[in-house]
Structure 1
Amino acid sequence: MAALMLQGTGSDVGKSVLVAGLCRALVRRGLSVRPFKPQNMSNNAAVTIDGGEIGRAQALQAIACRVQPHSDFNPVLLKPQADRTSQLIVHGKVRGTLGAANFREARRPLLDEVMQSFRRLEQDCDVVVVEGAGSPAEINLRAGDIANMGFARAAGVPVLLVGDIDRGGVIAAIVGTRAVIDPDDAAMIRGFIINKFRGDPILFEDGYRQIEALSGWKGHGVLPWVAAVARLPSEDAVILERDGRPGRRDRLLVACPIIPRIANFDDLDPLKAEPAVELVMVPPGRPLPAEAALVVLPGSKATIADLAAFRAEGWDIDLRAHVRRGGHVLGLCGGYQMLGRSIEDPEGIEGPAGRVEGLGLLEVGTRLAPHKVLREVGGIALGARLKGYEMHMGVTRRSAGVLPFVRFDDGGEDGAVDPSDRIFGSYVHGLLAEGAFRAALLHRLGAASDGLDHGQRVDAALDELAQAIERHLDVSAMVELARASGSRTA
């Protein structure tokens, strides 16, 4: 019957990771904890135990709480797609499409459904840790807000404001937020946290006190840069914006193009963590590296539009050259659809109805459909066990004689393999997290795997983050704030 909300001075200040770390810290104190994000906007999503989907960050936070992901953890999810529109997911299910023009009006009625989820969670645990979206300082978006102060005031939940000192200007970011937001909104903020500090914290003591004096908010600590965070999945595509050039030449090179509407790119995190692998995310304007042993075509929220962008970059030419050189290709979900002969969209799921030619590297054809497949799966591929989840709108059929990539435990089949046994496609997200499957794949490419299940890495990183939060932040004060909110709303 208690709750605390973390909001940020901007996007990518570390709210999602801090919520995950705080959840794990509270669990380690013996509390029953649930994560909550009223509204999220992300194409990185996860399947829930109740057959829905939520933002990937809330799935990580559920792991931190040691509970199964549930659609109540993220009742409103917006998944950006083509033509300035977003797919609207409410309580885990597709409800329609929102455009930029009707976004503000359409979200207002969703507050009641957000509150329904929140009240259920309140009754189910000791503490709910809530994550905001963007920043309350975006006062142009305040009317009808359900993600930040609109929710905090409706639910009576106190807020801590997170500032990212690594990007600079953290004093102005926190004090400036105090200056521009509505006084009643400012009254919901009970303190601040400084995140991502590098160096000697003594050097920031004066700045810390100046923020307290100028904002009137109490500081709850300075969290240093925590190396373990790099081992956690990220929800924001901003982390993909990097050079795109290969680095270490003594590692197996895996390349993945950054398509405009890339989805579930955390599928690749287990490869990034492999000591023998160099993962390169290739941005627009760069060719796919010729020395790559494996090219991964990732998931997409708008497969047809992303296929057009892939071709516009000339990556289709690079990919064919890669295949001629004997390279391997793995297509995941939307990437699997792209590898086929064609993609049909007779009902206009992604835009105008029509049909486009695929890359023609697998003898399969895809027909998009309004029903979204959401389910957890397990099976065998490359002679090794795997598990993961499906999340797609469309049916892909193999031509006669084409072998499946995965044989599921329930007797079903998924994906396709080309005759050379070097090009694979599958709808299964998360398959690379399984140590046995990843080891089998890397063995084919001539590299050794550490064989660890990625979930073990993530869980250990959450414990390290929780320990850092306990050392550097006033967790006890946060618990008292949360409990005070429960006593006021009881």
Structure 2
Amino acid sequence: MSTASKARAIMLQGTGSDVGKTVLVAGLCRAARNRGLSVRPFKPQNMSNNAAVADLPGEAGGGEIGRAQWLQALACGVPASVDMNPVLLKPQTDIGAQVIVHGRMRGEAKARDYQALKASLMDAVMQSWERLGEGADLVVVEGAGSPAEINLRPRDIANMGFATRADVPVALVGDIDRGGVIAAVAGTHLILPEEDRRMIVGYLINKFRGDVTLFDDGLAAIERFTGWRCFGVVPWLREAALLPSEDSVVLERAVRGRGPACKVVVPMLSRIANFDDLDPLRAEEEVEVVFVPPGSPLPSDAALVVIPGSKSTIADLAMLRENGWDKDLAAHQRRGGRIVGLCGGYQMLGRVVRDPHGIEGGGGAEGLGLLDIETVLEPEKIVRNVSARSVIFDEDVAGYEIHLGRSTGPDTLRPAVTIDGAPDGAVSPNGRVWGTYLHGIFSADRFRAKFLEELGVRGGGTDYRAGIENALDAIADHLERHLDVDALFAAAR
């Protein structure tokens, strides 16, 4: 093989996007850890606006990685590193994205231009691959999209382009919940070139509901068409809903809270980012979190509206107005409702957002005017994990910052939090509207309990982190029962 990690490795690739690869990789990482193995996650290229800040710096320094790789590192019981996701694409428009390499912003590229960059990015991928395997027993690799996208194969760095370069065997994942899984697996076998097909050591079926024996004929059909072995059929993993999600497609079918005592409303911005900030609220029994799609009004019975992060603040401000959500927010405020803005959402709450450096195309936009602040977008990107303290509730909080911009104005004299002793965010004079650049603030259990108490929720503040750990353990247990994990790990090389 041309280049290889010192650890053994197995890669999961999907018959399509959103087949559950991220959760399966996390579960396998936790299963390997429970077996006493030193395990690491790896995703060569990721596309997501849900980013995390790496716990450990890579050789190029610390920075951004996909939220999924942060979760998978947690499953492994190791600090997250930028080498776990060397290339991260953060979509800004329908045809362009910010390109993050080894945790640092390299620039912006349109989809067509990005294809030309891939040859140089493969070098970055392989550098991380070499470093990541040092001292590990096993690396579980996650592909992106599908290897069946053969039109992208010549410059691929995310699926078979990486697998063949690093000589990593592949297990194919099919999603039976969306239908057509026999055709998806057999069709992938049919259209892959022989060089890629020989990398596949077997397949597994994910998201099965009901009696698995009813699919025996389906498995037999796949074997006839492909000759591949089946590693198992995974049932619908309900615990997956308790894990941070990376792909905003899940918001279109988000499960609402079990007790509608307190309704939290979140407008689904076109470039919504870091929406997992809301996960700790969704985990509370007495909270219902509703993501409102474009074309629908914000519900009038909301106790709280959260304006989430955005990859394109100015464009999403325009979207808010196009959907009439600015008027809904004003009405919500008049009714005495509370409003919180996080990162880009915080910027939108101010009087104006200025873009003198053309970061989002130049010019600027009028804000919602709910906080007396103004924001200037600046080229230097702040990326860091932080410890902080809530000024409003006098509780320790923690999280991370990923933003371009600086906000100033009279309401910043009432900061929402302090970070390393420095004020951050702003609070309205009546205290009902506030914003901050701090992502992850709702993960702090004691802060969340006090915050929800003001909204009429008693007994909030469940141990959110413990819930994630328990979900990972439960998923690992399911995989041990329903997959031939021994065979899957034995196929690694």
Smaller-chain TM-score bracket: over 0.9
Q: Which amino acid aligns with 2:222?
A: I
- Determine the C-alpha separation between the residues in 2 that align with 1:128 and 1:250: 42
Distance 2:275 2:398 in 1: 17
CA contact (8 A) 1:75 1:114 kept: yes
- Partners in 2 of 1:204 and 1:250 — Cα distance? 38
> Which residue identity is paired with 1:135?
S
Q: Does the CA contact (< 8 Å) of 2:164 and 2:196 recur in 1?
A: yes
Map of 1:18 onto structure 2: 24
The match for 1:404 is: 415
Asked if 1:72 is matched to 2:78, the reply is no
Q: 1:341 aligns with which of 348, 351, 370?
A: 351
Report the 3-state secondary structure (helix = DSSP H, G, I; strand = E; otherwise coil) of the residue aligned with 1:208. helix
* CA distance in structure 2 between the partners assigned to 1:407 and 1:202 by the alignment: 57
Matches of 2:138 and 2:226 in 1, distance apart?
27
SS at match of 2:298: coil
State the 4+ residue runs in structure 1 displaced beyond 4 angstroms.
Answer: 246-250
- What is the match of residue 473 of structure 2? 463
- 1:242: how far off? 4.0
Find the aligned partners of 1:55 and 1:258 in 2 and give their Cα distance.
Answer: 20
Say whether the 8 Å CA contact 1:160–1:192 is kept in structure 2. Answer: yes
- Residue 290 (structure 1) aligned with residue 300 (structure 2): yes
Q: Residue in 1 aligned with 2:437? A: 427
1:157 and 2:168 aligned: yes
Give, in whole Å, the separation in 2 of the partners of 1:258 and 1:120.
Answer: 38
User: 1:78 offset after TM fit, Å?
Assistant: 0.4
2:447 and 2:117 mapped to 1: Cα distance? Answer: 43
Tell me which amino acid in the other structure corresponds to 1:425. G
Helix, strand or coil for the counterpart of 1:228? Answer: helix
Query: 2:106 and 2:27 mapped to 1: Cα distance?
Result: 32
Is 2:248 the partner of 1:237? yes
Compute the displacement of 1:449 (Å). Answer: 3.9
Q: CA deviation at 1:330?
A: 0.5
Partner of 2:220: 209
Equivalent pair of 1:20/1:462 in contact (CA under 8 Å) = yes
**Is the contact between residue 257 and residue 284 of structure 2 (CA under 8 Å) also seen in structure 1?**
no
Name 1:38's counterpart in structure 2.
44
Residue of structure 2 equivalent to 1:373: 382
Question: 1:34 is aligned with what amino acid?
Answer: R
What's 2:138 paired with?
Answer: 127
Cα deviation code 1:433-479 (max 9, x no counterpart): 11111111101111124322321111100000000001110111111
Residue 98 of structure 1 aligns with an amino acid whose one-letter code is A
Note the residue ranges of structure 2 that are not aligned, 5 or more in a row: 1-6
| One-letter identity of the residue aligned with 1:326 | G
| 1:146 to 2:164 alignment | no
Structure 1 vs Structure 2: percent identity of aligned residues?
Answer: 58
Code of the residue aligned with 2:12 in structure 1: it is: L
Rounded Cα–Cα distance in structure 1 between residues aligned with 2:218 and 2:260: 44
CA distance in 1 between counterparts of 2:317 and 2:144 reads 30
The one-letter amino acid of 1:364's match is: I
> Cα 1:189–1:83, aligned 2, differ >3 Å: closer, same or farther?
closer
Rounded Cα–Cα distance in structure 1 between residues aligned with 2:259 and 2:479: 37
Match in the other structure for 1:8: 14
Aligned-residue RMSD, C-alpha: 1.4
Q: Could you tell me how far apart the structure 1 residues matched to 2:70 and 2:305 are? A: 27
Equivalent residue, structure 2, for 1:84: 95
CA displacement at 1:385 relative to structure 2: 1.8
**One-letter code aligned to 1:339:** L
Corresponding residue of 1:488: none
| Alignment CA distance shift 1:250-1:71 (3 Å) | closer
**Residue 357 (1) aligns with residue 366 (2):** yes
Q: 2:458 & 2:473 partners in 1: Cα distance?
A: 27
Q: Which amino acid aligns with 1:123?
A: E
For residue 337 of structure 1, what is the amino acid of its counterpart? Q
SS in 1 for 2:434: strand
Read off the aligned partner of 1:392 and give its amino acid letter.
Answer: H
Selected match of 1:251 from 239, 252, 261:
261
**Displacement after TM superposition at 1:402 (Å):** 3.0
Q: Cα distance, 1:175 vs. partner?
A: 0.3
TM-score calculated relative to the size of structure 1: 0.96
CA contact (8 A) 1:255 1:288 kept: yes
What is the Cα deviation at residue 250 of structure 1? 4.3
Q: Aligned equivalents of 1:333 and 1:374: distance in 2?
A: 12
Aligned residue identity for 1:157: V
Instruction: Give the aligned partner of residue 199 of structure 2.
Output: 188
1: CA distance, partners of 2:243 / 2:487: 26
* Cα contact 1:82–1:305 (8 A) shared by 2: no
**Aligned equivalent of 1:176, options 187, 204, 210:** 187
CA–CA distance in structure 2, aligned partners of residues 178 and 13 of structure 1? 17
Deviations 1:284-327 (A, max 9, x none): 01000000000000000000001110111000000000000000
**CA separation of 1:8/1:400 partners in 2, compared to 1, >3 Å: closer, same or farther?**
closer
Question: C-alpha distance in 2, partners of 1:80/1:130?
Answer: 23
Number of equivalent positions = 480
What secondary structure does 1:89 align onto?
strand
1:161 partner amino acid: L
Contact kept? 2:257, 2:285, Cα under 8 Å? no
- The yes-or-no answer on 1:452 pairing with 2:462 is yes
The Cα of 1:184 is off from its aligned counterpart by: 0.8
1:474 aligns with 2:484: yes
Indicate conservation of the 8 Å contact 1:274/1:449, yes or no: no
Tell me what 1:47 maps to: 53
Which one is further off, 441-450 or 424-433? 441-450
Structure 1 partner of 2:311: 301
